[in-house]
Amino acid sequence: MKAYAMCLLFLALVITTTGCKSLFSSSGQRARTPWQNFDEAQVAFDKVVPHKTTVEELKGLGFDPNTTPNIKILTYLDLIQRFIPNSSISMKDLQPDVRACIEAKDCCHAYEMELDMTDSKRYGNLALDVFGFNRKTKTTGWRFKALVIVKDDVVAYKIRSGEPNVDRLEQKTKPLGPLQELDNVVTKVIGAF
């Protein structure tokens, strides 16, 4: 009982000496990258010209897996998995440069980059959040994904996707708070009999 009272006293002290906002949890995902925002990544990507840009020029633009973190090197086998994920898509369905690269086998590779630059912060009523009754999370930032296919040391194909402005609100409501999870335990116990 004494430990319980000490915990309550400590919690009361923390709440009165700090703002409630500072007690909310937060998280962030930061990929190391030469670009500070989506637009900078897009500008570098736009400078890559298929059938013209060389591997050396790619390095100067920031697409160098040896010096730029978070770039995967893919083989032609990886490209087959990416572009032909099931039997409903065949080689003849592919863009001609992608098809030629896959057919060139070892003369082909690709650079894949996934940048996730997001921050998540919880907000709302601290007591309801801590006990799991109502959790609200705001996620902001940007995401950029690029694939550059290289054949014989020259860019053959490029494609990109992403979210220049991530701004999401998520709310999880559990009317029974921490007791809400007990339904799984009860179901498992009843199922055991």
pLDDT on residue 30: 61
Per-domain boundaries in the chain = 26-177
132-180 pLDDT, tens per residue? 778 888 888 999 999 999 999 999 999 999 999 998 888 888 777 777 6
pLDDT on residue 66: 85
Q: Residues of the chain whose pLDDT is less than 70?
A: 1, 3-31, 180-193
Single pTM value for the model: 0.70
Can you give the chain as a three-state secondary structure string? CHHHHHHHHHHHHHHHHCCHHHHCCEEEECCCCCCCCHHHHHHHHHCCCCCCCEHHHHHHCCCCCCCCCCEEEEEHHHHHHHHCCCCCCCHHHCCHHHHHHHHCHHHEEEEEEEEEEEEEEEECCHHHHHCCCEEEEEEEEEEEEEEEEEECCEEEEEEEEEEEEEEEEEEEECCCHHHHHHHHHHHHHHHHC
